[in-house]
Amino acid sequence: MKQQLSKLQAYQPGLSPRQLKEKYGFDGEMVKLASNENLYGPSPKVKEAIKDNLDELFYYPEVKQFDVKETLSNMHNVKKEQIFFGSGLDEVIMIISRAILEANDEIVTSDMTFGQYKHHAVIESANVRTTPLKDGYFDLDAMYEQINDSTKLIWICNPNNPTGTYLPHDEIESFIQKVPDDIIVLIDEAYIEFATAEDMPNSLELLSQYDQVVVLRTFSKAYGLASQRIGYAIASEDLLNQLDIVRLPFNVTSLSAVAADAALKDQNYLRDITTKNRIEIEKYLNASFSEHLYDSQTNFVFVNTEEPQMLYDALIKEGFITRPFPNGVRITAGFSEHNDQVIKVLESFFNK
Ligand SMILES: *Cc1c(COP(=O)(O)O)cnc(C)c1O
């Protein structure tokens, strides 16, 4: 076995609603607000598209020829050869790590960010350098100080999971300008469709200016397709040709691609969902306990508390499953009625 596996744990999905009901003796319906899924689900057109594509289940998927590649290429104004699919963005992160990192190479990222960057670096025997968040934000100056001759990858999660915070275009651009050309800068935009801030980075513009930039996106969050496992990278053709060597030949299913394509083509639905989401997020950000929240450009809020387990338990008792962290609890925005109930729990938690 690789020795470094002893330093890691398998991903812990958290208890299922049934397990939680038993553990806490809860009777009613449990609502899962733990993994930033989109409770509204995908566009109704996705179901239709899947139904219309059930006759060719026996063929292997032609991952490089998916229609959704053409749709994305037109939408983002990049060449088809600049788009690379994975079985979820998780798989793209794994493939990048596997293709690039050798023993003793280094990655740089932040503390309190998406765990998979670090996880795959460790599996590849690379070293991980992280810097603390600065008031909940990625600290690019501190990250810059961590760069050295062994640095291969720099991971920026923007907006960041689990804090929901983001860095604006100018800050990201001045950072990339300073980073040596041979270091790849990855911008994970899993939540970008939810973001409404005006100075949100235009990462595609950065990509057209700097060859070293990779933009990462997924259909699991705003597009409501977490079960379908499809995400993608947009990057230079040269880099993607290398990743293609590592990719399993049939890594993404045909139906996931069909679902993703239908979801992309229903931008009205997406706009409707993201507008509703923003209203819900602002309910949290304007609540009496807002000083305990990080600002959020996503579909979740991070509640800072020194007693995360107590808050987690208080929410479970009302039927809400959230995600505890050592310094707080991350709560996915559910439907309006869920959020109203969650906000009541938070109000009494911080008023006691
Ligand atoms: C959810 C998430 C992913 C992975 O998404 P999948 O496409 O479902 O694998 C990647 N990065 C961040 C920041 C996420 O929150």
**Tens digits of residue pLDDT in 66-80:** 999 999 999 999 999
Domain stops at, among 209, 244, 265: 265
Range with lowest mean pLDDT among 7-16, 43-52, 120-129: 7-16
Ligand 1 atom with the shortest distance to the CA of 93: 10
Per-residue pLDDT, 26: 79
pLDDT score of 78? 97
The amino acid sitting at 19 is: Q
Nearest to 331 by CA among 340, 322, 320, 342: 322
204 and 320, same domain (yes or no): no
Alpha-carbon span 321 to 341, nearest angstrom: 13
Q: How many domains does the chain have?
A: 2
Strands (E), 115-261: 127-131, 151-157, 184-188, 213-218, 231-234
* Residue 243, domain extent: 44-265
Q: 281 and 190 in one domain? A: no
What CATH number should be reported for the domain holding residue 227? 3.40.640.10
Confidence of residue 37 (pLDDT cuts 50, 70, 90): very high
C-alpha 287/C-alpha 241 separation (Å) is: 48
Q: For residue range 106-117, what is the model confidence (pLDDT) as tens digits?
A: 999 999 999 999
* Dist CA 327 CA 162 (whole Å): 11
* CA atoms lying within 13 Å on the CB side of residue 69: 17
Give the chain's mean pLDDT.
96
- Å from CA of 160 to ligand 1 middle: 11
Ligand 1: residues with CB < 6 A are 36, 88-90, 114, 157, 161, 188, 190, 218, 220, 226, 231
Report the distance separating Cα 60 and Cα 135, nearest Å.
48
What 3-state DSSP class applies to 107?
strand
Is residue 30 domain-shared with residue 142, that is, in the same domain?
no
pLDDT band at 90 (very low <50, low <70, confident <90, very high): very high
* 53 three-state secondary structure: coil
Query: Does 125 score more than 90 pLDDT?
Result: yes
**16 and 55 both lie in a single domain:** no
Among 35, 37, 85, 90, say which to mutate for ligand 1: greatest number of ligand atoms within 8 Å of CB. Answer: 90
The answer as to whether 197 is a domain residue is yes
Average confidence (pLDDT) over 111-134: 97
> What's the CA-to-centroid distance between 90 and ligand 1, angstroms?
6
Q: Which amino acid belongs to residue 52?
A: D
Q: Given the CA of residue 114, which atom of ligand 1 is nearest to it?
A: 13
27 confidence band (pLDDT: 50, 70, 90) = confident
The predicted pLDDT at position 94 comes to 98
